[in-house]
Amino acid sequence: MIGRLFGKVLEKQAPYLLIDVHGVGYEVQAPMTTFYRLPEVGGEVVLHTHFAVSEVSQQLYGFVSSQDRQLFRLLIKVNGVGPKMAIGIMSMESNDFVRCVMDDNITALVKVPGVGKKTAERLMIEMRDKLKDWNVPRASVEGDVITLDDSGPSAVTGNQIIQEAESALIALGYKPTEAAKAVSAAMNEDITRSEELIRAALKSMLPA
């Protein structure tokens, strides 16, 4: 079981990462709440991981906090919720998801790709008791990642940022037209990283 990685970010194309640990490259899938907190390529990061094995694949999932990994593990125990849907649900912050469950906010949950009304109702029922003692305050962003002093992020064009953001939303399960519309509406001249654009686009589609 691989429970933790500490290494250098070699590649990141949401929701996938490549982490170099002493010369070995680990392919990791991560929720957007982890991507928001990643250093630039070349920076170091600590990821709490979950290794999932099925009949058709083996996949390593990574999270910047053990609390997020705990939530992921609780989600995949819910009937009808697999790792892919759990990653999609975790496009919203853990605290926002907990509030949705505690407030019976089904409307917010069904906005997540793949989550229908029945699945949302099942999440409410099965997660409520498990989350009643949830520690709402999150660790600070600065405490979650470690960055290296390097030459800084490489220059990217607006088109590259848009393409990366649209690809990430499609990978999360949104339709290409939905992704393009949300990204287009969220894009502005102050955005310089794809993670910023993804976050802004998701905010317009998911609970803030």
pLDDT-derived band at 143 (thresholds 50, 70, 90) equals: very low
For residue 24, pLDDT over 90 is answered with: yes
pLDDT of residue 148: 36
Q: pLDDT tens digits, residue range 114-126?
A: 888 999 999 999 9
Q: pLDDT tens digits, residue range 100-111?
A: 888 888 888 888
Q: pLDDT tens digits, residue range 165-200?
A: 888 888 888 888 888 998 988 888 778 788 888 888
* Integer angstrom CA distances of residue 68 from 126, 136, 155, 160, 193: 18, 11, 31, 29, 23
CA separation for the pair 44, 83 (Å, rounded): 25
Q: pLDDT tens digits, residue range 32-68?
A: 989 888 988 999 999 999 998 888 888 999 999 998 9
Q: Which of 130, 114, 147, 161 is nearest to 13 (CA)?
A: 161
pLDDT, mean over the chain: 83
Q: What is the largest CA-CA distance in the chain?
A: 49
Domains of the chain plus CATH, in order, are 4-64 (2.40.50.140), 66-131 (1.10.150.20), 158-205 (1.10.8.10)
